[in-house]
Amino acid sequence: MTWLGHASVLIELAGLRIVTDPVLRERMGVLRRRRDLAPVADLPAVDAVLISHLHHDHADLPSLQLLSEAGDAPLPVLTEESNSEWVRRQGLHAPVVSPEGWHRLSDEVEVRLVPAVHDARPMPHRPNGAVGMLIRGPEVVVWFAGDTALYPNMDTLPSIAEAPIDLALLPIGGWGPRLSAGHMGPAEAAEAAVRSGARAVMPIHYGTLHPRGWPSSRLDWTTAPGDALPAELSQRCSAEAHVLPVGGTMTLT
């Protein structure tokens, strides 16, 4: 797992490279990447993209086009069906993904859509479907939560996966100092780990983006959630925290 920043993670599993919610540019509308972060490294060709929802800080069209143009074969972009229709209208490849079954990426890796509760800030110009995803490979299950608030049925994820959740990629912040509706902070992410029974947590959706014009001397709020997560987890469960720097890599064994 390599954290590319915000909700973008490069997952290398059983010979496949999968990227979640790719945001690979320095600026997007009113948002910009922290100046003290290294630019996103050039990525090798990827085999699939997972999109949790179509907010611009999760579904950046230039980033999607860049990844799509890097490979020889059409790059599958997996997301909820109403979002898939929008992806296809952009000239990208979005296979139909059943909300009730597993979508096979290879003989060893498959993906399944799971719920996410994220109906804040609906967009008039894009569909507003929101999902999380389970990625199941040889003897490993990863839960990419996308953007979501806590919801009661998180405890059903292991039964859906037919295995324990080995790693949860959980959002713990936003792109402002106050957490808006439909998001989780460190405490809520720790509760999500409890409900899902996740063995390890890698925090995402923090530490990367901020509104344009925000003073660089006042950006401590962007990284504070990552500092708080290990203590929140230790108070609630035995899940291990893997708090990476942007660009950092961890290996799940």
Average pLDDT value for residue range 40-56: 93
In this prediction, residue 178 carries a pLDDT of 84
| HEC string for the chain | CEEEECCEEEEEECCEEEEECCCCCCEECCEEECCCCCCCCCCCCCCEEECCCCCCCCCCHHHHHHHHHHCCCCCEEECCHHHHHHHHHCCCECCCCCCCCCEECCCCCEEEEEECCCCCCCCCCCCCCCEEEEEEECCEEEEECCCCCCCHHHHHHHHHHCCCCCEEEEECCCCCCCCCCCCCCHHHHHHHHHHHCCCEEEEECCCCEEECCCCHHHCHHHHHHHHHHHHHHHHHCCCEECCCCCCCECCCC
Any domain includes 175: yes
Average pLDDT value for residue range 144-172: 97
177 pLDDT higher than 90: no
Average pLDDT value for residue range 29-51: 91
With contact defined as beta carbons under 8 Å apart, do 201 and 189 qualify? yes
Any domain includes 115: yes
Which comes out higher in pLDDT, residue 215 or 157?
A: 157
100-110 per-position pLDDT tens digit: 999 999 999 99
Residue 152 CB: number of other CB atoms within 10 A?
A: 9
In this prediction, residue 201 carries a pLDDT of 98
Single-letter code of the amino acid located at 208: T
Average pLDDT value for residue range 167-180: 90
* Residue range of the domain that includes 32: 2-241
72 pLDDT higher than 80: no
Any domain includes 248: no
Instruction: For residues 102 and 187, give the distance between their C-alpha atoms in angstroms, rounded to a whole number.
Output: 30
83-131 per-position pLDDT tens digit: 999 999 999 999 999 999 999 999 999 999 999 998 877 778 899 899 9
Residue 50 CB: number of other CB atoms within 10 A?
A: 26
In this prediction, residue 122 carries a pLDDT of 79
Work out the pLDDT band at 59, boundaries 50, 70, 90.
very high
Any domain includes 252: no
Any domain includes 128: yes
Tokens encoding 183: 């998001």
Q: With the CA atoms of 219, 220, 226 and 229 taken in that order, what torsion angle do they form, in degrees rounded to the nearest 10?
A: -140
> Any idea which of 9-13, 94-98, 212-216, 221-225 has the lowest mean pLDDT?
212-216
Average model confidence (pLDDT) across the chain:
94
Any domain includes 247: no
Any domain includes 121: yes
Where residue 214 sits, what CATH number does that domain have? 3.60.15.10
In the chain, the number of structural domains is 1
Any domain includes 246: no
Tokens encoding 250: 């961890």
pLDDT > 90: what percent of the chain? 84
Instruction: For residues 213 and 222, give the distance between their C-alpha atoms in angstroms, rounded to a whole number.
Output: 14
In this prediction, residue 242 carries a pLDDT of 98
